[in-house]
């Protein structure tokens, strides 16, 4: 049912959705928000998702919000791996900028319930 090429793995979600990754700036190793904005102008997303377990930096939710607003897109943050740092005030708070924020508690606190916050 699912096809895989050497460049792109086909999954169930890729049947319904097309995703485009955003990269990091080569010199700073930070998310390249300017490139993300230019990709959004080209592909006109309906949803921009931010959050990563493999990105050990803070997110500029304000800049992501501006890009989402430019295209009428929703902005979603997955804060499963950073929710404790956000709650402690050590990382930026996505709640003022994102339409939807999701997290889990088992990553940081044990059992496996999931929390979803709508703005």
Assess if residue 89 is contained within a domain. yes
Q: Which of 5-14, 50-59, 64-73 has the highest mean pLDDT?
A: 64-73
Which tens digit of pLDDT belongs to each residue from 70-86?
A: 999 999 999 988 888 89
Assess if residue 101 is contained within a domain. yes
Structural domains counted in the chain? 1
Q: Which residue do the tokens 């096809």 mark? A: 3
Q: How high is the pLDDT of residue 56?
A: 79
- Does 18 or 69 have the greater pLDDT score? 69
Assess if residue 11 is contained within a domain. no
Assess if residue 12 is contained within a domain. no
pLDDT above 90 for 110: no
pLDDT above 50 for 2: no
Domain harbouring 54, CATH code: 3.40.640.10
Assess if residue 14 is contained within a domain. no
Is residue 67 packed enough to be buried (19+ CB in 10 Å), middle (13-18) or exposed (0-12)? buried
Averaged pLDDT for residues 2-28: 74
DSSP 96: G
Q: Which domain holds residue 64?
A: 23-118
Assess if residue 6 is contained within a domain. no
């Amino acid at each position: 049912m699912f096809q895989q090429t050497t460049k792109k793995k086909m999954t169930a979600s890729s049947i319904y959705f097309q995703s485009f990754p955003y990269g990091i700036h080569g010199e700073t190793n930070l998310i390249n928000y300017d490139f993300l904005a230019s990709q959004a102008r080209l592909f006109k997303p309906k949803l921009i998702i931010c959050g990563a377990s493999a990105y050990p930096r803070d997110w500029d939710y304000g800049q992501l919000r501006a890009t989402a607003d430019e295209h009428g897109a929703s902005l979603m943050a997955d804060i499963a791996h950073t929710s404790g740092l956000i709650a402690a005030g050590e990382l930026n708070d996505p709640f003022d900028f994102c339409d939807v924020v999701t997290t889990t508690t088992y990553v940081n606190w044990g059992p496996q319930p999931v929390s979803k916050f709508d703005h």
